[in-house]
Amino acid sequence: MRDVIQKMLQAEAEAKRIVAEAEAKADGIRSDARRKAHELVEAARRQAQDEADRIVDEAAREAEQQKRSRLQQAAETIRAELAVTPEFRKEAVETVVRTVRGAGDGTTNG
**At 40, which amino acid appears?**
L
Is 60 exceeded by the pLDDT of residue 110?
A: no
Q: Enter the pTM of the model.
A: 0.52
Is 90 exceeded by the pLDDT of residue 31?
A: yes
CB within 8 Å of 101: residues ≥ 6 apart? 109
pLDDT at position 84, please? 79
Q: Between vectors from CA 43 to CA 56 and to CA 24, what angle results, nearest 5°?
A: 160
pLDDT at position 107, please? 55
Mean pLDDT of 55-66: 97
